[in-house]
Amino acid sequence: MLRLKSKNNKKVMVVFEKMHGLGNDFVLIDNRHQNFKPSASLIVSLANRNTGIGFDQLLLLENSSENDCDVSYRFFNPDGSEAEQCGNGQRCIAKYLHSQNPEKTEFCVNGLAGKVFSNVYDNGLVTVNLGKAKSIIPAQHDHEKGYQVDFGNPHFVLEKKNIEDVNLNVLNDEIIKSYPNGINIEIVEILSADSMKIRVYERGTGETLACGSGACASALAMMSENKFSNKVKVMLPGGELVVEYNDDGDTLLTGEAVSVFRGEIQI
């Protein structure tokens, strides 16, 4: 068992796992065996890619109070703020739990966005059931039709052509003026009857190579307009995800999850 060692308020060593889903990278700390106490300043320090570890989000696992769940989860952005949901992070959590117990392939975790169920497959892919979107509301930006999607965390989805030519930083600065608490922004380009391409600006992080909840929010927004059936391939800068809307009204997200290395850092 890994333990956090601390005497007389001296610096302590924290064990972590570096993981990624399509290049969307995470530091996972299993707090069931340690006593890591997150603070905004500490998270900002750890997120620094030059002087810390570097990550798009910190994943913190703790003991769950739910009898049917393996762990509880918390997500933190590099600016120290707490996020409600992360689809790529959920796949990494499932992959990590599977590595701790290889005989088990189905998992349940709970946190701010509720319970999440996942399956780990022999081919390395992971499917997470992220549940139902709370709302999909038509919206506008600069006379273009968009969608506000509440998927456990907030998203603004905007369909565009030639999304590689869009200055996503400028677009983010424009849109967030209407959202004082921040919002995740996705721009979508439809490629075919069953595929689309997106870019994502994550609240508290910036543009990332991939975003699981953003892929789901974008797919559901397009499905609400009958631009896709119940299953679509989502191409992101970091790779491909598959989003499926099942008969129960739940959203399934499938993609890879990779463990890069395990390390420890003194804090």
pLDDT greater than 80 at residue 22: yes
For the annotated catalytic residues, the residue numbers are: 86, 211
Tens of pLDDT, residues 177-190:
999 989 999 999 99
Q: Which two tokens stand for residue 190?
A: 């439809």
**What b/e sequence results for 203-226 when a residue is b if at least 16 CB atoms lie within 10 Å of its CB, and e otherwise?**
bbbeebbbbbbbbbbbbbbbbbee
Burial class (CB in 10 A: 0-12, 13-18, 19+), 133: buried
- Proportion of the chain in helix, strand, coil states, percent, rounded to 5: 20, 45, 40
- What pTM, to 2 d.p., does this model score? 0.90
Tens of pLDDT, residues 59-77:
999 999 999 999 999 999 9
Query: Domains of the chain (ranges plus CATH)?
Result: 13-129+256-266 (3.10.310.10), 135-249 (3.10.310.10)
Q: CA–CA separation, 94 vs 127, rounded Å?
A: 9
Tens of pLDDT, residues 236-261:
999 999 999 999 999 999 999 999 99
Single out the residue of 6, 27, 32 nearest to residue 16, CA to CA: 27
Length of the chain: 267
pLDDT of res. 6: 44
What's at 141, amino acid-wise? H
